[in-house]
Amino acid sequence: MSRNSKAKGHWKKYLQYLSILPGICFSAASFFPAIVMGIFYNKMNKEGAVAVMIAGIVAILFYMLKFKFDMFGGGTSKDWWFEISPEGFGTVAMLLNFMVSIIISLFTPDPPKEVQEMVENIRIPDGIMEANSD
């Protein structure tokens, strides 16, 4: 095997790795906060979940398009916010979206009581206290 063919194989693996990162960023920024807040925050409602998903996708798209594809004025690595690369921005967007979900949920109606009870039963299943008391 020539040195040139090894290099091509290395780049192929590198490009496959890079193709996965945007998907991870989108998932972390949009769906993860909605799922976690839906399970652990009884006041999380559909408005908060939808707002989180939209805000996450918009934030990631903007940041990636700006710094990867030179849109919206472009920029170099010196212009990255908090020195975070576009591939790593999903974490920042995720943290911001946790705040968005709480704010939106505070200013919109609470979910119905039966939904809150269902979420509580998901978090703490029936019979868990009896199993722990043994």
Contact 65, 71 (CB under 8 A): yes
Over residues 5-59, the pLDDT tens digits come to: 555 555 555 555 555 666 676 777 778 888 888 888 888 888 988 998 888 888 8
- pLDDT of amino acid 126: 67
Over residues 86-96, the pLDDT tens digits come to: 877 888 888 88
Contact 93, 60 (CB under 8 A): yes
Q: Which residues contact 68 (CB under 8 A, 6 or more apart)?
A: 86
Residues comprising the chain, all counted:
134
87-to-1, 15, 60, 106, 123 alpha-carbon distances in Å: 33, 13, 9, 31, 32
Over residues 87-126, the pLDDT tens digits come to: 778 888 888 888 998 999 899 998 889 888 888 877 776 6
At 106, the amino acid letter reads L
